[in-house]
Amino acid sequence: VQPLVSSLSALLGAEKVLSGDAIGDDYTHDEALCGERHVPLAVVLPSGVDDVRRVLVWASDNRVPVTARGAGTGLSGACVPRANGVVVSFERMKRVLEIDTENHVAIVEPGVSLEALNAAVAEKGLVYPVFPGENSATLGGNVATNAGGMRAVKYGVTRHHVLGLEAVLATGEVIRTGGKFVKTSTGYDLTQLVIGSEGTLALVTQVTLKLVPLLRHSATLLAPFPTLDEAVCTIPLLVVSGVGPLLVEYIDRMTMMAITAQSGVSLGIGADMQASTEAYLLVVVEGRTADRVDEDTQLAGATLAEHGASDVFVLPASAATQLIDAREKSFWAAKRAQASEVVDVVVPRASLPEFMHQVKAIAERHSTFIPGCGHAGDGNVHLAVFERDPDKRYALMRELFEAGRRLGGVISGEHGIGVEKKRYFLELEDPAKIALLRRIKQAFDPNSILNPGTIFD
Ligand SMILES: Cc1cc2nc3c(=O)[nH]c(=O)nc-3n(C[C@H](O)[C@H](O)[C@H](O)COP(=O)(O)OP(=O)(O)OC[C@H]3O[C@@H](n4cnc5c(N)ncnc54)[C@H](O)[C@@H]3O)c2cc1C
């Protein structure tokens, strides 16, 4: 061990390598609820692409596993290192390199957080519109997980906003893909292949992002529904109504109680109505002018009311911000309530009612309850599973994943496979596709040094 770490320090300079007690606990885990922790041999803190290149050549020569790390906010164990491996943490590569206002493009290093990026581009009247719920997450992590979030119903997910990458292959070769343009028909799309690959194909050292104009007018509607079924049946109607909502989230009653209690938010809805509500829809519309937003608010409100909402509240701006923030923190409420897993199945949005029926039946069969909320406009749910026994939890989660797949969905809409969902993925996915993915992995990373054990064994 010691000679390996010494050779790494000699290669990069001791100030870029942490080992032994200098490796803080944060580097050993992410936010996955059941995840294992591993202390790596060393943590490397590159300051540029050349450092990354040198680490990968060294790791290939010495057959040392390498796990990239952004902010460690992932929910699938994908940045948890191997005990015999090194972490490449991008915390020092956090420069916004360029904001090109004519092309609506930003070029960033992978360690830039969503918060820092949006603060920088807001000054130019622009926004990077992908909003996964955790603002400390990095663009490198977002690319590697293809992060989604609440605004995907309008703007899509990370892969719809990444125009190009600079990435280092396991061999140490540096590739540049795409650029400041929005289309390409020039061979296989390597940008899209690397997006969502969870650090298993290449290490991303620069990201070219598509920005959009910041729309300054918005309205937030909260609609309580007597049944979950009515709430989720209304979602496709809302999305196709022409309103083009920025956000359509469902929150079931138990989750709403947990997130409002955790954040100290008052819904401003009478106790009787809250007691007769099984689920809420939270809808945001945005636009360039206040008139346009008013028009869309009317239409969205009418759609919600016509399809079973007990009432429709247009929230004051500060209450809206607080409630959306509380919803973004639902993961912490689930963690506090000692959930053992959060499942993020995605199905076609029109199949959500049937999926939720099946979730209820699965919960009853397993004598448990499965509360949740989610990006319902995308058909993407976040269900909290409470089952400590690993075998029972496996059986329950497999049924949830199978139900999603039968309805034309997949087992993860945005959190990734990582190590936590690997077993289900390998058991349930088409073997021909798994075999092809393995061959792609082999082509990129012949010695299997990049995040081995993530997605596949
Ligand atoms: C409260 C909370 C709410 C969340 N809400 C959402 C949500 O709404 N939508 C959503 O999609 N996710 C959500 N997440 C999950 C998480 O924020 C995302 O997965 C995010 O993309 C992880 O970014 P990170 O920088 O923390 O990456 P990490 O967790 O550090 O790493 C994630 C993966 O990226 C790889 N990686 C990191 N940097 C690089 C790089 N430069 N090159 C190659 N691979 C790299 C790692 O190896 C790992 O495989 C939430 C998490 C929390 C805690």
Ligand 1: does its nearest atom lie under 6 Å from the Cβ of 146?
no
* 244 CB burial (10 A radius; 0-12, 13-18, 19+): middle
For residues 298-318, give the mean pLDDT. 97
Give the largest Cα separation in the chain, rounded: 70
% pLDDT > 70, the chain: 100
Can you give the pLDDT at residue 1? 67
State residue 163's pLDDT score.
98
**Residue 218 alpha carbon to ligand 1 centre in Å:** 28
pLDDT in tens, 186-205: 999 999 999 999 999 999 99
Distance from Cα 45 to the centre of ligand 1, integer Å: 18
pLDDT digits (tens, 9 = 90+) for 386-405: 999 999 999 999 999 999 99
Beta bridge partners of 222: 282, 313
Instruction: Note the pLDDT of residue 354.
Output: 98
Kindly report, residue by residue over 345-358, the tens digit of the pLDDT: 999 999 999 999 99
* Interval 336-344 mean pLDDT: 96
pLDDT in tens, 281-294: 999 999 999 999 99
Cα(2) to centroid(ligand 1), Å = 31
pLDDT, tens only, 20-79: 999 999 999 999 998 899 999 999 999 999 999 999 999 999 999 999 999 999 999 999
Distance 137 CA to ligand 1 centre (A): 6
What pLDDT is recorded for position 147?
98
**CA nearest 147: which of 81, 87, 207?**
207
Q: What is the sign of the dihedral through the CA atoms of 7, 202, 209 and 293?
A: negative
Q: How confident is the model at residue 2 (pLDDT cuts 50, 70, 90)?
A: confident
What share of the chain has pLDDT > 90, as a percent? 98
For the stretch 221-241, pLDDT in tens is 999 999 999 999 999 999 999
- Ligand 1 contact, 147 CB (< 6 A): yes
Question: Residue 457's pLDDT is what?
Answer: 87
What is the mean pLDDT of the segment spanning 369-392? 97
222: tokens are 């909260």
Q: Between these two residues, 2 and 386, which has the higher pLDDT value?
A: 386
Nearby residues of 72 by Cβ (< 8 Å), 6 or more positions away: 26, 27, 29, 30, 31, 79
Find the mean pLDDT for residues 101-106.
98
Q: Is the CB of 285 under 6 A from ligand 1?
A: no
Evaluate: CB of 151 within 6 angstroms of ligand 1: no
pLDDT for position 234: 97
pLDDT per residue as tens digits for the range 41-53: 999 999 999 999 9
Q: How high is the pLDDT of residue 289? A: 96
Q: Coil, strand, or helix at residue 443?
A: helix
